[in-house]
Chains A and B, each alone.
Chain A
């Protein structure tokens, strides 16, 4: 199972919106609505930000939203804040009954 494809880096200014894409195949993202997104700050454990494509866990800011079209999922962060600077990973369930992560995207807040 190959890793999902994410851009290596994205950047935006405070207050702006950014979108991170995550491209898979018809065997993972395209087949299931089990896409999740994680935020990881340096030296810290990952934190769940979005699950089931577009649901937010309790306590996660509504500035974070998720969507999916075909084999590609997306994470949008609106009203960028300095604290959003981190690495972001997507993940999907697969037809092999396993999960797979994307390669990760480094978000820089300018």
Chain B
């Protein structure tokens, strides 16, 4: 069974750093892209970027380029989304999702990680 299990909810202060994770199981983790999607409170889905664990290739939405870093460690079947300096506007639910190709749909999704940034 394909599963993507994300790390737990986080509460951080502005300016702090954060790295959240997404662990895949039940399929060849290195052969599928993992994407990250933001959903701010009461708002829609926003595609942030993707990583190919096989060679760590990444692609970012222009809106998120330079704001976050997406990475993966294929040895432990885990993808990451990280911030170096959080802002209150980063408060959102973040989902990871699997894609067969960089162009393709997201067929399996993680359960989401809620990030709250507040002073």
Report which A residues bind B (CB closer than 8 A): 1, 3, 32, 34, 36, 38, 40, 45-48, 51-52, 57, 87, 89, 91, 93, 96-104
Contacts and interface: CB of A to CB of B under 8 A. Distances in A.
A97 to B, nearest CB: 6
Interface in B34-56: 35, 37, 44-47, 49
Interface in B84-119: 95, 97, 102-107, 109-112
A52 B103 CA distance: 10
B105 A104 contact: no
B76 interface: no
Contacts of B37: 46, 101
Contacts of B102: 97
Quick one: which of B63, B95, B105, B106 has the most chain A CB within 10 A?
B105
A101 B46 contact: yes
A1 B62 contact: yes
Question: Which 9 residue pairs are nearest across A and B when measured between Cβ atoms?
Answer: A36-B105, A51-B105, A104-B44, A93-B103, A45-B109, A101-B45, A99-B47, A34-B103, A103-B44
A87 B61 CA distance: 23
B83 interface: no
B35 A89 contact: no
Contacts of B61: 1, 98, 100
A38 B97 CA distance: 12
A48 B106 contact: yes
B60 interface: yes
**Interface residues of B toward A: which range?**
20 to 34
B22 to A, nearest CB: 12
Contact of B106 (A32, A36, A96): A36
Nearest to B47: A99
A51 B45 contact: no
B109 A47 contact: yes
Given A51-B104, A57-B107, A97-B102, A38 B112 contact: no
Quick one: which of A3, A40, A91, A98 has the most chain B CB within 10 A?
A98
B13 interface: no
Given A45-B112, A98-B59, A52 B44 contact: no
